[in-house]
Amino acid sequence: MSELISLAANGTGLVVETGPGLPRVLHWGADLGPVDEDFVLAGTPGVPPSSVDTPIRLTLLPTSRDGWLGRPGTSGHRAGSFQHVRPSLLGPVVVDGSSVSYTAADPVAGVEFHTELHLDPSGVLRVRHEVVNTGEDTWTVDALRLLLPVPASATELLDLTGRWCRERSPQRSPFLHGLRSRESRRGRTGHDATGLLVAGTPGFGFRDGEVWGVHLAWSGDHEHFAERLPEGLSVLGAGEILAPGEILLSPGSSYATPWAFFVWSDQGLDGLSARLHTWTRSRPTHPSSPRPVVLNTWEAVYFNHDLGRLKALADRAAEIGVERFVLDDGWFRGRRDDSAGLGDWFVDSAVWPAGLAPLVDYVRGKGMQFGLWFEPEMVNPDSDLARAHPDWLLADTLPWRRQQVLNVARPDVYSYLLERLDSLVSEYRIDYIKWDHNRDLMESLVHSQTLAVYRLLDELRSRHPALEIESCSSGGARVDLGILAHTDRVWASDTNDAVERQRIQRWMGLLVPPELIGSHVGPPEAHTTGRVAELPFRCATALFNHAGLEWDLTGLSADDLAALRAWITLYKRLRGLLHTGTVVRSDHPDHGSLLHGVVDATHAVFCYAHLETSPDALPARLRFPGLSPDRRYTVRAVPELLPAAGRFVQQTPWIAAGVTMTGIALERVGVQPPLLGPGQAMVFELTPA
């Protein structure tokens, strides 16, 4: 006898059938309201030719016993036996508000499975499994995956790829028969990580189409996949990738998957973002104070630490309104370049004879917070630590950036790192850590390493509740909701090239809200690409996230300093909107231009960025999405960020005085923008008329 469980939140609906056999999801998508047994009957498939003699049931833990012949929900064995478990429901399915949980067991194989589903008020569905060894000897876990069905109307897939300094590059493909799997065995999320794997209706975009997405909140090896079988079944799934023999459960012990986030929208990709951002912002640990303007010293001084020079940099930073000063790589013992010193977390007395106190006190005297760079999980072979403890390496693999990885899961390594970090944070009352991680893990057991890093972050934060931590991993190689449960910001990319950043931040924002994405104004010539971009464009690009600077301010002209001061004042005025409003992105017809913004009930800010030349002599109209249809808005160009005058800029008549229109007119018809040159942008503020 089957029963139906219907959950709904923020327009998302979930229908679960509780029997016979294991529970299965009959519907995940739009809120359908009440359903009954006719809903089950209407969706019951026939039996295809040359198939099992009963309709195939896609349960929440699908196996070949159910007729599911795709990627299985679970895989494991007991010394080579019981490779195909046959779990049956053990006890009732428990419904608690918007949560569903149950236990299934295979007593012959000696395993139990606990499954949890939570439909959060944002409409985000979180799912997790746990397997428990109830037998008398070791159970080997090979895989435990989270899968949900998607309808046949989802005929296109979107995933993201990338590399160092070009993270989050979109790629589309048809959702055909077979398996589309995005797997990462890098020991960290990866520059090429998809972040969010999306299936959708034909031609879906940022503002249109019905879409289903999945994200695994995990910072180690992982998989996201979409699979469609000829029998008419299609799924999105995710799970941790486990090395052979990595999870060996002794009697009574268990393994729990990371949380998989499943999210649906009938308003395109922006609808997915809105739900995910709402969920992220609802966390008790989400930063609640205004995101301070950061100055990071890396591209200002690199390894050339000198107290006088850094004081002068702090003077300029304080004068223009910087609120947090971060000393990057190069402060610790033996660290004159990136070939030595990692692991020796002691202030280098050769460079800092009085320790860091003279700089820290000077920075605080200027009214700024102080931050410090670490790379705790790594070690240079040329270090006192590696020479003293070669057994502390996670694996002796090919060198990467002339460094190896410490085995943080070892109690002695964990204790050493915690003592060093805690000691330095305590001594200097550090407000902020830039926590870096500059290589992939190879020939390593990643599961225990990842959990140990999470524990280390949590213990440090518990000892210093006001401490904020940024997750940097040679830029954006560790960006996921797993690491963000233990940190306060991510570094989107090691490139400060504003042209590259526009697209990187656009696609990273599918998953991560802007207040958690670090974005800095760098020098005119980008360190990573050599591209030259004007200051207003660089400022406009950094404005829409957690803004900062990475630039030697001591050599700037009075005009440039004044422009930066005006930009920082603008950021401080707008960050309440930028970091709480709804992110919107236009499907602009010119692929060389981007239009994105943030809106709330009465106010909006948009950036129109022109990245490359267009075959059109005049640009297409800008249509501003997400506005209240009947409200009248006045649209004005933000004067602080007007492009530098030049031969590529041709103004339009309304720019000087602004224009007032209804929200529906601005969204459906729009305004004619000026003609910009490549690498130029304009920021528009929309206020109630």
Residues with Cβ within 8 Å of 97's Cβ and at least 6 positions away in sequence, in order, are: none
In this structure, the number of other CB atoms found within 10 A of the CB of residue 107 comes to: 13
Q: What totals of helices (H) and strands (E) does the chain contain, helices first?
A: 12, 36
**Sign of torsion, CA 191 196 201 203?**
negative
**Tokens representing 408?**
């943080």
382 catalytic residue (yes or no): no
66 catalytic residue (yes or no): no
In this structure, the number of other CB atoms found within 10 A of the CB of residue 587 comes to: 17
Question: Residue 606 in 3-state DSSP?
Answer: strand
**Cα angle at 448 between 442 and 453, to 5 degrees?**
90
Q: Say if CB 214 and CB 261 are below 8 A apart.
A: yes
Q: Which of 16, 56, 43 is nearest to 230 (CA)?
A: 56
**Alpha carbon distance 416, 452 (integer Å):** 13
User: Per the residue annotation, which of 436, 440, 488, 497 is the catalytic one?
Assistant: 436
Q: Which of 590, 609, 633 is nearest to 544 (CA)?
A: 609
User: Per the residue annotation, which of 270, 328, 494, 497 is the catalytic one?
Assistant: 494
**Alpha carbon distance 493, 166 (integer Å):** 7
**Tokens representing 178?**
């077979």
Chain mean position to CA 32: 30
**Tokens representing 192?**
């090429």
The residue whose two tokens read 């005085």 is 657
Q: Which of 441, 438, 435, 429 is nearest to 457 (CA)?
A: 435
Q: Say if CB 583 and CB 514 are below 8 A apart.
A: yes
Cross-strand bridge partners of residue 211: 200, 265
**Tokens representing 673?**
């923008």
DSSP state, 619?
P
**Alpha carbon distance 126, 262 (integer Å):** 6
**Cα angle at 132 between 127 and 133, to 5 degrees?**
155
Q: Say if CB 644 and CB 559 are below 8 A apart.
A: no
DSSP string, 512-579: S-GGGEEEEE--SB-TTT--B--HHHHHHHHHTSEEEE-S-GGG--HHHHHHHHHHHHHHHHHHHHHT
The residue whose two tokens read 């790594």 is 378
Q: Which of 201, 220, 197 is nearest to 210 (CA)?
A: 201
> Any idea which residues carry the catalytic annotation?
436, 494
